[in-house]
Chain A
Amino acid sequence: MNYFSPNSISELFNLFESIKNYTILVGGTDLMPGFENGTPLPENLIDLKNISDLSEIRETTEEIEIGALTTVTELQKNLVIHKYFNALWQATKEFAGVQIRNRATIGGNICNASPSGDLLTPLYSFGAKLKLIRSKSERIVPIENIITNPGEIALNNGEILQSVILPKTDFQSLFIKLGLRESMAISVVNFAIVYKKNCDNFEHLSIFAGAVAPTIIRLKTLENVLLDNPKTDITANLIVPDISPISDIRASANYREQVLVNLLNNEVRRMNDEQ
């Protein structure tokens, strides 16, 4: 295996000229345990750690652009994220433990495309767009168009994730995670809600859940019912049309469904009680 650590984006693109078979490495918190557990080593490993341009957080009046190499710890310390994107900020707090948060990156969480990735439900709920760059072009695409299946992303050869763009709004938001211990636990279920209330009604509502389907999914049926009547008691039949949970070592499909219903009820009730 060859190891490369280009110092700039242009060096990276030069490298892509000659190398076609490669894997991108950033924090390595998904990749390294994978190698340890038998994922074959790639022919070439390209480490982006020296490309400092990729770890900047830029703020404009309309949006915030988060570099793909931004670590979870850096997200957590960022005041703009704390102010505008509470659900994302909450997710950074529930994420793994301190050591992992210091290495794990937002880009890695997205490109790893795990259905239980903790940053994903907030990003979906805020309508995140991804900026993907290649040697001579760039594209900006909604996150749901890129994450296609567990562990699968629609990136072209020679393309990397440069940044994540979130529109600033005056929406409120929250993130809830159930893991089987207080830290260092993978989500059994998680969800994010981004909303705006107008008197007793929701003027804006988006609810995305994780670890209950192959990718992050939108609880569309539930959203529609709540937009109609925010006081609706949430029952399983309001989420079942959108989810397809599996049973694994952590929990059964049944439990995931049941707990998602309970936790959603809890949060929506709280949102209703807010003035």
Chain B
Amino acid sequence: MKVIGKKTPRVDGVALATGKPVFTDDVSVADTVFIKILRSPHAHAKIVEIDKSEAMGISGVVTILTHEDFPAHYYTTAGQGYPEPSPRDTRILDSTVRFVGDEVAIVAAETNEIAEKSIEKIIVKYEILPANFEMEKATESSSLHPESGKTGIYNTQKNMASHLEAEIGDAEKAFSESEHIFEGTYSTPFVQHAQIEPHITLTWLDENGRLNVRTATQVPFHVRRIVAEVTNFPISKIRVIKPRIGGGFGGKQEILTETLCSAITLKTGRPARLELTREEEFYATRSRHPQKISLKIGLDENQKITAMTANILENCGAYGPHALTVMSVTAQKLFSIYKMQNFKVVGNAVYTNLPIAAAYRGYGAPQAFFALESLMDEIATELGICPIEFRKKNLFELGDELPIMRALGEGREGFKAFVNSNGLAECMEKGRKLIGWDEFQQSDKNSPIQRGIGVATSAQGSGIAGIDMASAFIKMNEDGSFNLLVGATDLGTGSDTALAQIAAEVLCVAVEKIIVYSSDTDLTPFDTGAYASSTTYVSGGAVKKAAEKVIEQILEQGQKFLNLENVKIENEFVIAETGDKISFKDLCTKSFYTENQMQIMAEASNMSFDSPQPFNATFAIVEVDTETGFVTVGKIVSITDAGKIINPQMSEGQVEGSIPQSLGMVLSEFMTFDENGKMTNTNFDDYHIFTSLDMPEIIVDFVETDEPTAPFGAKAVAEIPINAPAPAVVNAIFNACGVRIRNLPITPEKVMKKKI
């Protein structure tokens, strides 16, 4: 292959690196009003009265909207397939607030400062309602969503947003016949995406009265659909444009700022701008679902897993976007690496009066693998066997069916799935060598610094089977270049480049000949969006098909122009067996102006009933300071099977970027709340993401496999590497000092407590 798998600079790299005005905020429209949001100081309250007279009186205030300005229409902020599997439990502005930070009113003013001043002058009378902050108590607490008209909530009275169950074989019977049984309960906290660019939207009405929405989103087509629904404005009159994005990680799979901004523009007729503050990003956008997972594993005398049961309790916070689907991924992934005949999983997602959780890179899988890979390590220790050999013994093999995928789809019944490629065992072997597993020496027992080593594995998907759909459109230009138009959304991941590579490979041209334009609902065809690790696999498939159709047309025109049957493509020429040839340039020019006139162009759609699993094995070496409990991660080796690698540097970048996020989740990142449910660490001074000085040495490598259902054999690489670093560190800490912590994060204080 000429382009696939080769060093290819990003198509947007120069513009980004030279500071060109590429982000949402880099454009300003004359006459814009600025929006600020008044947020609830209470965790649960009814709004009895809103007096906005004083606030409206401030010079420069243009309008103030509250729940009184909107009908009681319920929707979900989750940008996912339609009809959405998430409960429709949200109003654009509600008369009840359900967490500290919930939206009460929006002010539009001539400047940000005036808007800020104005929200302080809005007088709201609240009737305080009882609030619950513990997911364990959710089912006995008073209902957060008793209102009629809300749909898709599993059990309103019991605060259960969603519920799932799946069963294969007979786990209880298998346990009774098992040689060994192991159990453990594992829990994870709320953590934040902490992407650099906050949520930001700019809206305006163009000369034809159409609503333009320039926004930092991962899901432009879902934005268009949901803005239309919530503002009651026709889809045909909405254009959503996604410029370059400063990170999303799932946080921008939510429709948050777009609906509010659009409502202001539609109300005032003026351009509107809404950018959230860092504090709002923390407590008022979205986070990772805390989960409590109880696992029970049965083994036979050969240390083969015979059965496993899992109980998942998931904390949604006050609303339920992605409540069911995140939990479904947790459930699926628990049963996607190790082969067994009997299993059962039950999951409940519950409401609490805390900030809202939703999609975050990994989407339920990090919680699953923290639990599963901790327990696997505990079992290996208990039985005195090598954790790598123990895992290898239990892996799925090529051709095996993944029964969980049949039993449990993404919010509905699934599709039959098989393991068509699996490089996990090789990933483990490669990592074992690169980390020096067999040579590793623990520290002297008397040393205050104890070193340890750990391993963990994981799986993810590539798109959502049977749901995600993407399309692409390609047209040829008379200089032999091609426009590639895709709905797919590059949120900083580099997918525009990967898709250009796929087109270039099929069209037999250099990547520079592909002009990518993406994510504009007026100009590019539909794509469900950038989530579920779907773009290379699903959108890439569409690009490949479209390019193949274009090549057909080029060959046909070539045959006609050369008057010969047997032609092939070489170096941007159509060449006949006789040696006669015509360049792409001449071929397209002729097609435009002189002979058999036509635009060479094609479009294609793609969806898949498969979601092939990428795999990863991560190894960690840590040092635990036994005098302070402080854990330093010394080295991470992350080996991924993402099928065929389309772009090596970008793939490495995906892996490297995921590691600090996973290390943060295990060691330093967690949202804290006071007794009233107010988040207390809403800034980077107290919410500790890893800094460059905290980062360990990282070795990233790949085991390439060929996925038969994928474009050029490529599986996804976006989410897979975020899962295993956390459990690898957990296991390394145990290896270092014998402290096993089952509730994240592992703070120095927790390590010290466990040691005594």
Contacts and interface: CB of A to CB of B under 8 A. Distances in A.
B752 A180 contact: no
Given A33-B685, A183-B694, A266-B448, 17 more contacts: A178-B748, A181-B690, A182-B691, A182-B694, A183-B691, A183-B693, A184-B685, A249-B686, A250-B686, A252-B749, A258-B752, A259-B627, A259-B628, A259-B748, A263-B628, A265-B627, A266-B627
A129 B336 CA distance: 66
Interface string B664-685: 0000100010000000110011
A102 interface: no
A130 interface: no
Contacts of B338: none
A178 B630 contact: yes
A157 interface: no
Q: Is the interface of B mostly helix, strand, loop or mixed?
A: loop
Q: Is the interface of A mostly helix, strand, loop or mixed?
A: loop
A245 B547 CA distance: 68
B688 A178 contact: no
Contacts of B693: 181-183
B748 A180 contact: yes
Contacts of A249: 672, 680-681, 686
Contacts of A69: none
Contacts of B691: 97, 181-184
B747 interface: yes
A1 to B, nearest CB: 13
Interface residues of A, number: 21
Nearest to A33: B685
Nearest to A265: B627
Interface in B583-636: 627-630
Interface string A254-275: 0100110011011000000000
A265 B627 CA distance: 10
Interface string B687-701: 010110110000000
Interface of B: 448, 627-630, 668, 672, 680-681, 684-686, 688, 690-691, 693-694, 747-749, 752
Residue of B627, B629, B684, B694 contacting most chain A CB atoms (<10 Å): B627
Contacts of A262: 627-628
A251 interface: yes
A262 B630 CA distance: 12
Contact of A255 (B668, B684, B685, B749): B749
A114 B672 CA distance: 23
Given A180-B747, A249-B672, A186 B680 contact: no
B448 to A, nearest CB: 7
A265 B626 CA distance: 13
Contacts of B629: 255, 259
A185 interface: yes
A178 B628 contact: yes
Contacts of B628: 178, 259, 262-263
30 contacts: A33-B685, A97-B691, A178-B748, A180-B668, A180-B688, A180-B748, A181-B688, A181-B691, A181-B693, A181-B694, A182-B691, A182-B694, A183-B691, A183-B693, A184-B685, A184-B691, A185-B688, A186-B685, A249-B672, A249-B681, A249-B686, A251-B748, A252-B749, A255-B749, A259-B627, A262-B627, A262-B628, A263-B627, A266-B448, A266-B627
A255 B747 CA distance: 11
Interface string A224-250: 000000000000000000000000011
A251 B688 contact: no
A259 B690 CA distance: 22
B364 to A, nearest CB: 27
Contacts of A250: 686
Contact of B752 (A97, A259, A263): A259
Contacts of A266: 448, 627
A251 B753 CA distance: 12
Contacts of A186: 685
A185 B687 CA distance: 10
A186 B681 CA distance: 13
